[in-house]
Amino acid sequence: MEIEELKKELKKYLKEERYEHSVCVMEMSEKLAEKYNVSKTKVMKAALMHDMAKEMPIEKLKKYILDNKIKVSETEMLLGITLHGKVAADICRKKYGFDYIMCKAISNHTTGKPDMTMFEKIVFISDKIDETRKYDGVQELRELAFKDIDSAIVKNIEYTTKNNLEKGRIILEQSIKTRNYILINRKN
Ligand SMILES: [Fe+2]
Ligand SMILES: [Fe+2]
């Protein structure tokens, strides 16, 4: 399915604001794909559809996970925050023919994961720095993403983690794993 058709589909799932976020994530992913020499169309489609299940009620997401035998950890099931990515990936594979790489990027877009491909990194960071994002330091992070995408991912996770700690929220261990993996494996 072409991008324009996917946009029409996405509109059925999302309210205006989240639809706008999705389109902006897609636009960011296009620029990053150019910068890092990843072929554009698939990244853009994955970026566009990453949040397509975000407005499903949590009980519906859980039911979908169980009915479709999607693998998720106990913590994920308990917290629910990452489930929309897992469900979106499954729907995109079955309904829109997305391939393994696209689905993996969608599936892990909330926390990232260790050893991400450039494709996955682009989808992950585009979601955090798209033009609808307004948090302190987002402009610096946008610039950093084009110079050193790994550092941008680490900084984003650190920012989110700090924020969650201050608010007494749960920290997703997968984000910490993503950050540690980059720190351990970086060459400089
Ligand atoms: Fe999301
Ligand atoms: Fe998102």
For residue range 111-166, list pLDDT tens digits in order: 999 999 999 999 999 999 999 999 889 999 999 999 999 999 999 999 999 999 99
What does the pLDDT average to over 3-7? 97
**Token pair recorded at residue 149:** 């995408």
Q: What is the pLDDT of residue 150?
A: 98
Q: Which residue has the tokens 């585009």?
A: 126
Cα-to-centroid distance, 156 and ligand 1 (Å)? 14
pLDDT of residue 96 exceeding 90, the answer is: yes
In sequence order, what are the residues at sequence separation of 6 or more whose Cβ sits closer than 8 angstroms to the Cβ of residue 158?
179
Which ligand is the nearest neighbour of the Cα of 55?
1
Phi and psi (nearest 5°) for 132? -85, -10
- Contact yes or no for 86/72 (Cβ under 8 A): yes
- Contact yes or no for 100/107 (Cβ under 8 A): no
Residues with CB under 5 A from ligand 1 (ion): 51
Cα-to-centroid distance, 24 and ligand 2 (Å)? 10
Q: What is the pLDDT of residue 188?
A: 59
Cα-to-centroid distance, 35 and ligand 1 (Å)? 23
The type of residue at 107 is: S
Cα-to-centroid distance, 132 and ligand 2 (Å)? 10
Cα-to-centroid distance, 107 and ligand 1 (Å)? 9
Could you give the domains of the chain? 3-133 (1.10.3210.10)
3-state secondary structure of 7: helix
Cα-to-centroid distance, 134 and ligand 2 (Å)? 13
pLDDT digits (tens, 9 = 90+) for 16-74: 999 999 999 999 999 999 999 999 999 999 999 999 999 999 999 999 999 999 999 88
pTM, full prediction:
0.96
Cα-atom radius of gyration of the chain, to the nearest Å?
16
- Contact yes or no for 18/52 (Cβ under 8 A): no
| Distance spanning both ends of the chain, measured CA to CA | 41
pLDDT of residue 187 exceeding 80, the answer is: no
**Token pair recorded at residue 81:** 């925050």
pLDDT of residue 110 exceeding 70, the answer is: yes
Q: What is the pLDDT of residue 135?
A: 86
